Structure 1
Amino acid sequence: MRWTLPNILSILRLVAAPFFPAIYVLWEGALAGGIALAVFVGASATDWVDGYVARRWNQTSRFGAMVDPIADKAMVLIALLVVVAQFGLAPVMTLAAGVIVFREVFVSGLREFLGAQAGQLKVTKLAKWKTTVQMVAISVLIGHGLVAQPAVELLGTALLVLAAALTLVTGADYFAKAWPYLREEGQP
């Protein structure tokens, strides 16, 4: 592994993910919400920055290609867990979060299974939009604790449902691309 800025940012995001729930254990109320929102928005921003810098400064690496999506998924999935818990397992949020978790695990499993052919599952523009909508939805729902307005909760829930819908579409796309490699013959 090379110690490039993109790799460092991805590692910091990966390390921050399991500590995200601890924010709510260490602090309470608006303070916890403010810190959590800052951490999540910061992590979301580094997701964009590390990719941009890696491409712009020609600092792409196999390590970065591996750790970046893991860090993204870890932060999003752990934050989803916290948000769903905060809203008392609200049915719509819980269902949307379940769809997102399933797709992320499923696509990761497909990539693992495909091994050398995993390049067939390149990230699409729609998948990038899916990630953006997920991050905005989670940010809005975390921010709800700071303003406690029903409209903010409704907006965050609507965005999370949209993210789940995009998650289903991109998951189906990845499955369709992987299908030829999943057949018994293993050949496309």
Structure 2
Amino acid sequence: MFTGIVTALGTVTSVARTGDTRLTIACPFDPAKIAIGASIACSGVCLTVVERGGQAGDAWFAVDVSDETISKTAPQQWSDGATVNLEPALKLGDELGGHIVTGHVDAVGRVAVREERGGSLHIEIDAPAAIAAYIATKGSITVDGVSLTVNALEDLADGSARFSLNIIPHTAQVTTLGTLQQGSAVNLEIDVLARYLKRMNDLRAT
């Protein structure tokens, strides 16, 4: 379980096929505090640490990524040199600064609009029809592992939805969101509460 509050940026330094795809990610963590088998969200994808090393402030860890995961997530994060948002799993007693995030990507969205507005970054993202009903104005959504609030929502004719976000300068600087451009693919995870409410409403309708 995660909160969507990114604690560091990592860099993919190696991509290798080992049956699955093994990524090595450089990070500023302390390797002594990274347990083998621990979960780390990498741009919103919950992955399991299988190796780690380095030293405090200059560490690395390795994860195995299945073909299924790669097929259902934004492709650019699985390439050598990619920058990814990192968040270790939530520990009991930690502050819940964002919202409850599972690290399971529901869909890939695409940036439709990127504009500077009043010092902040205005982003509009097109979400596929499969998750459109789960997105609500002032509700929470996770974009590339970052917990954000939906500012506005527009339902489109094909059943998809376009939602807008305001990214403050701090968030733009300490996550990958500041580098997004029109056309960029992003990992989306809907609010877990919305998921259950939608399921209950569907059952009532049958």
Q: What TM bracket, shorter-length normalisation? A: under 0.3
Higher helix share: 1
TM-score, normalisation: structure 1: 0.28
**TM-score normalised by structure 2 residue count:** 0.26
